Amino acid sequence: MKHSNIAFFIPHKGCPHRCSFCDQRTISGTQQAPTPKEVADTCRQALSECRSPENTEIAFFGGSFTAIPTQEMVEYLEAAAPFVGKGGFAGIRVSTRPDAVEAPVLKILRQYGVTSVELGAQSMDDTVLALNKRGHTAEDVRRGAERVRQYGFSLGLQMMTGLVGDSKESAYRTAREFIRLSPNGVRIYPTVVLPGTELAALVQKGAYHPPGLEETVSLCAGLLNLFDGVGIPVIRLGLHASQEVGERMIAGAYHPALRELCEARRYLERMERLLAEVPPGEYRLCVSARCLSQALGQKKENIARLKERGYEISVAPDERMKPLEVRLVQGKEVTGCF
């Protein structure tokens, strides 16, 4: 069953730095942090309505949860903890900085039922981290990830693509470094430039040009292939759908269905490799019934792109096929598979 979160956003709380890209309030749609009482009230209501609490976690996102004053952090945890455990939610998930997971704070998290800790690494390239004023290094990420593991938490890692100084090559290096750290899940956030950030000033000066949607879809499709290949789930790709982000963004790559675009691109690439073995013409492809819309692409974009190359394609669903599997059918014969 699909995992879900009861999410609380705590914008800027605990952040000792103002990173080049940061505007947590717009990204999360939250102007101020909830009170512990509001956390408790929301959890109580959510538990009464939740059909599968065993697959749901209480989550504290935004800011750096473990870097806020200890007493405040404990008050939030005390508000959430009664709703975790037998008959309640599966656990508590927190996101924080890689350099804010020292032993004392991890002991507190474990005491209050925290099960997952996500580290906002963003990059494993020290030059990219410095240019974007992250205030930590790649080595901090490695040490933090090891410590999170040592204390028995599920480890999540978050990366951003398209930051100042980033490139396709450095994004792939970050992904490979993540794989070596064996996280339980990864989030990928392509850069979105918002007003009032340092990135916005750089864009306006012409000193920085973040990747647009097309370049980002191509890159992230490749990153999905990389993580899938080693069995590490990408639990989020792109920001949550937000009208405010869409209206305010200055540059970068935002789309409310970015994950779907990337999954469609993965299908297109597999179709192209399969069709490269045959001359242009009319063909029938079979794909997983669950993934038919991804195979077709948004507004059947994949079919249109193949048509531009001389391939008239019809796509049929097959209940027996796995996601991303593509078969070329000529008559009754299956002639290839990717």
Residues 279 and 157 both lie in one domain: no
Q: What is the pLDDT of residue 333?
A: 47
Section 281-303 average pLDDT: 97
Residues 160 and 43 both lie in one domain: yes
pLDDT band at residue 313, thresholds of 50, 70 and 90? very high
Residues 162 and 307 both lie in one domain: no
Residues 78 and 157 both lie in one domain: yes
Residues 277 and 252 both lie in one domain: no
Average pLDDT of the chain?
A: 92
Decide if pLDDT at 15 tops 80: no
Section 71-92 average pLDDT: 96
Section 127-142 average pLDDT: 96
The per-residue pLDDT for range 317-337, each reduced to its tens digit, is: 999 999 999 999 864 444 555
Residues 78 and 161 both lie in one domain: yes
Which domain does 126 fall in, by range? 4-256
Residue type at position 35:
T
Q: What is the pLDDT of residue 307?
A: 97
Q: What is the pLDDT of residue 32?
A: 79
Lowest mean pLDDT among 3-17, 24-38, 173-187: 24-38
Section 119-133 average pLDDT: 97
Contacts of 40 (CB under 8 A, 6+ apart): 79, 80, 82, 83
Decide if pLDDT at 31 tops 80: no
Residues 60 and 147 both lie in one domain: yes
Count of domains in the chain?
A: 2
Q: What is the pLDDT of residue 11?
A: 76
Q: What is the pLDDT of residue 122?
A: 97
For the chain, give the secondary structure using H, E and C. Answer: CCCEEEEEECCCCCCCCCCCCCCHHHHHCCCCCCCHHHHHHHHHHHHHHCCCHHHEEEEEECCCHHHCCHHHHHHHHHHHHHHECCCCECEEEEEECCCCCCHHHHHHHHHCCEEEEEEEEECCCHHHHHHCCCCCCHHHHHHHHHHHHHCCCEEEEEEEECCCCCCHHHHHHHHHHHHHCCCCEEEEEECEECCCCHHHHHHHHCCCCCCCHHHHHHHHHHHHHHHHHCCCCEEEECCCCCHHHHHHCCEECCCCCHHHHHHHHHHHHHHHHHHCCCCCEEEEEEEEHHHHHHHHCHHHHHHHHHHHCCEEEEEEEECCCCCCCEEEEECCEEEEEC
Decide if pLDDT at 6 tops 80: yes
Q: What is the pLDDT of residue 28?
A: 46
Domain CATH number, residue 106: 3.20.20.70
- Residue 261 falls inside a structural domain: no
Residues 57 and 89 both lie in one domain: yes
Q: What is the pLDDT of residue 62?
A: 81
Domain boundary among 203, 235, 256: 256
Q: What is the pLDDT of residue 12?
A: 63
Decide if pLDDT at 17 tops 80: no
**End-to-end alpha carbon distance in the chain:** 27
Q: What is the pLDDT of residue 243?
A: 86
Domain boundary among 222, 256, 290: 256
The per-residue pLDDT for range 201-255, each reduced to its tens digit, is: 999 999 999 999 999 999 999 999 999 999 999 999 999 888 888 889 999 999 9
Decide if pLDDT at 24 tops 60: no
The per-residue pLDDT for range 49-77, each reduced to its tens digit, is: 998 999 999 999 987 999 999 999 999 99
- Residue 262 falls inside a structural domain: no
- Residue 198 falls inside a structural domain: yes
pLDDT band at residue 179, thresholds of 50, 70 and 90? very high
Residues 146 and 208 both lie in one domain: yes
Domain boundary among 256, 275, 293: 256
